[in-house]
Structure 1
């Protein structure tokens, strides 16, 4: 029975995560909730921990409408008040009339009630209540209501933020980020912005044979000027649908950033571009943790050895804890089947992480090294190379575009399936 319940909980969580994918980030507002049940309090608290609520300030109290009335008799009301009440419809309206005497007229109010009553709903909306939800409510219900009240309904859809990070230095995370960015732009004919966040040692300009005069350094050090026009001036065109925000790759200064140093850049980029690829360096500090927390999708690139497994496990555990309402990170195993190197099998590497890899890329220094030296992507250097299909597979998964068409060559996922059968 416990396994059945656990499976049901996992399915419910998966449904909540799917429902949250189109929820826009919440602006800087204050939210206070007064709940009567632990279930509702937990749902609201989980919403407050979501990365899309990073700018908002939320507090959860117990006690329902009466506690709220007592609290606001001597305190200002926030932008949004969420109130749970088990009261009968007539008693609920009376309690709200008492609360209205101590509330500021500009505050929005959402009621979580326990009666599915159309007449009550109409009465509450006539009295200025913003929304009425019938308990039990989920975290996704709470987030959707807040977004509906405070997000601009006429705003354009936000671009998808995809962050690539290596479990260890030298595992090829940047190479994969660049090639997957190329695949997305080629497969879907959609605009892609590739941002190289490794300011001192970034390689995106080399891999794309670009030498822009400006790039990500100007974007970060002039964050107060950041807007769509300024960002567009900093981009280098790599292909019809692919633009690059290159790193200076110079050591003329140090790059010690605050935790929110890249926030303005990322928010501007996702307002202007359907897909934003972030090439995150293998360091761990406030700003890299913040960047990974803000991403819609995180791809961890690792090679099959013990140090990579340890680091990947730490990354996966940290991201799962910091992004409880998001899908787990994706895993890409790179440089596998290196001659004469002892390796952890793909199955043994993935099991402790509880992840299935979205791609398995074989070690091929001749092709990858030649492409890098010539400033070309693998698809340009050798369109029939097996890695190209794997990059396309990863592109489909990370953009949520569904599964690619089956090709004759075996993809990385097919390869893993064969490993499991042995």
Structure 2
């Protein structure tokens, strides 16, 4: 058996939305034409073709790590149905059979043996798409059902520009995503700072598709497009990047912002939302959907005063009952610091929930390299503070790990 990847010129199995497992075809030379499959996808999955000998049959290890496997069977060989059934029972990969002019009785035998469908040969891409689409829909449904009851949103706002909110939220989100992935769940970061957002950039990513594509999709926006636009980070975090070009804040309506957030939660479960510094009707409206808000500020009188004004704005808009947790970034500890945690709480009129220590060197190197801080320094006070924040969020949102 020889494998021929008709899309080998591309990064195998990778798309704008991250890794997508292939549909593996196991066909004889007479049934498989690699040239005709170049650049072709079925139901959003790339194709991988393996040429098998007459009478040959793939094993469990051959079909592993695929979205579905299509195996050619011979209508004149009764043993082929038994072989197909044994393979279907030995793997969780959805199995489809392919045959030249299969009689109805033969199709029924294959379906009873575990075939999701039987595709006629020579192979027609439209037939293959029709057969694979229900499998793709079933996978999407399973993914969404895993998030039922766990759809949460965490809005990140800042007292002012320059307090390190984006650096903090991206580093927090990667840790949160890695821990959620270990529990079998997903996490997304929506960078909705349409003018100055750079969450993807500081994590070393350069997405081709961005939030702008979700905005332009209008009525075509759905879960499949959401996953296509979201870019995978090695931590498991899905990132919807801010637009590559500066867009007017008015480009997004409150209704469309709601739809984007709701779809992200339905697809991924927990969603971090990095909001723009300037308030808009849609960003204030999104706050009503927040399960938690992180207000990022610094330990300085100007920054704390601006944070207090932000909190006062939320109260004036009837949003005072939202769970807002103040995070003091670049927190200095020691006997000779000018301001204390108590001073911050006095200015804000509320408790400081979390402090993140000032480790400029570690954070700067992580940002320059576009990596999580754990890759810069395995153990650090900064990492410990982020772990405390991560655990606090998970506990408050009811996410068992």
What TM-score results when the alignment is normalised by the length of structure 1? 0.54
Question: Which of 152, 166, 170 is equivalent to 1:160?
Answer: 152
Select between 392-401 and 226-235 the one with higher mean Cα deviation: 392-401
The answer for the alignment partner of 1:186 in structure 2 is 178
What secondary structure is seen at the aligned counterpart in 2 of 1:262?
Answer: helix
- Kindly indicate whether the alpha-carbon contact (under 8 Å) linking 1:397 and 1:403 is maintained by their aligned counterparts in 2: no
Question: Which of 296, 308, 312 is equivalent to 1:313?
Answer: 308
- TM-aligned CA deviation for residue 200 of structure 1: 2.4
- TM-aligned CA deviation for residue 332 of structure 1: 0.5
Residues 1:387 and 2:379 are matched in the alignment: no
The answer for the alignment partner of 1:18 in structure 2 is none
What does 1:270-281 align with in structure 2 at a 5 Å threshold? 270-281=265-276
1:354–1:191 Cα change, 3 Å: same
1:260–1:330 Cα change, 3 Å: same
Residues 1:300 and 2:300 are matched in the alignment: no
Supply the distance in 1 between the matched residues of 2:263 and 2:387 (Cα, whole angstroms).
27
What secondary structure is seen at the aligned counterpart in 1 of 2:254?
Answer: coil
Supply the distance in 2 between the matched residues of 1:372 and 1:308 (Cα, whole angstroms).
23
1:354–1:400 Cα change, 3 Å: farther
- Kindly indicate whether the alpha-carbon contact (under 8 Å) linking 1:223 and 1:265 is maintained by their aligned counterparts in 2: no
Residues 1:254 and 2:248 are matched in the alignment: yes
- Kindly indicate whether the alpha-carbon contact (under 8 Å) linking 1:168 and 1:307 is maintained by their aligned counterparts in 2: no
The answer for the alignment partner of 2:194 in structure 1 is 199
Long gaps (5+) in structure 1: 1-153, 405-422
1:403–1:366 Cα change, 3 Å: farther
Question: Which of 204, 208, 213 is equivalent to 1:213?
Answer: 208
- Kindly indicate whether the alpha-carbon contact (under 8 Å) linking 1:193 and 1:273 is maintained by their aligned counterparts in 2: yes
Supply the distance in 1 between the matched residues of 2:216 and 2:333 (Cα, whole angstroms).
41
Long gaps (5+) in structure 2: 1-145
- Kindly indicate whether the alpha-carbon contact (under 8 Å) linking 2:357 and 2:385 is maintained by their aligned counterparts in 1: no
Supply the distance in 2 between the matched residues of 1:162 and 1:231 (Cα, whole angstroms).
18
Supply the distance in 2 between the matched residues of 1:362 and 1:295 (Cα, whole angstroms).
26
What secondary structure is seen at the aligned counterpart in 1 of 2:308?
Answer: helix
What secondary structure is seen at the aligned counterpart in 1 of 2:274?
Answer: strand
What does 1:205-244 align with in structure 2 at a 5 Å threshold? 205-239=200-234, 241-244=236-239
- TM-aligned CA deviation for residue 391 of structure 1: 1.1
Supply the distance in 1 between the matched residues of 2:319 and 2:180 (Cα, whole angstroms).
28
- Superposition RMSD on alpha carbons, in Å? 2.8
- Kindly indicate whether the alpha-carbon contact (under 8 Å) linking 1:196 and 1:216 is maintained by their aligned counterparts in 2: yes
- Kindly indicate whether the alpha-carbon contact (under 8 Å) linking 2:165 and 2:296 is maintained by their aligned counterparts in 1: yes
Supply the distance in 1 between the matched residues of 2:367 and 2:192 (Cα, whole angstroms).
19
The answer for the alignment partner of 1:344 in structure 2 is 339
What secondary structure is seen at the aligned counterpart in 2 of 1:239?
Answer: coil
What secondary structure is seen at the aligned counterpart in 2 of 1:222?
Answer: helix
- Kindly indicate whether the alpha-carbon contact (under 8 Å) linking 1:333 and 1:357 is maintained by their aligned counterparts in 2: yes
Count of residues paired in the alignment: 249
Question: Which of 356, 364, 373 is equivalent to 2:359?
Answer: 364
- TM-aligned CA deviation for residue 358 of structure 1: 2.8
What secondary structure is seen at the aligned counterpart in 1 of 2:288?
Answer: helix
- Kindly indicate whether the alpha-carbon contact (under 8 Å) linking 1:201 and 1:250 is maintained by their aligned counterparts in 2: no
What does 1:4-403 align with in structure 2 at a 5 Å threshold? 156-189=148-181, 190-239=185-234, 241-251=236-246, 253-256=247-250, 257-320=252-315, 322-327=318-323, 329-337=324-332, 343-400=338-395
- TM-aligned CA deviation for residue 324 of structure 1: 4.8
- Kindly indicate whether the alpha-carbon contact (under 8 Å) linking 2:227 and 2:267 is maintained by their aligned counterparts in 1: no
Moved over 6 A (4+): none
1:290–1:211 Cα change, 3 Å: same
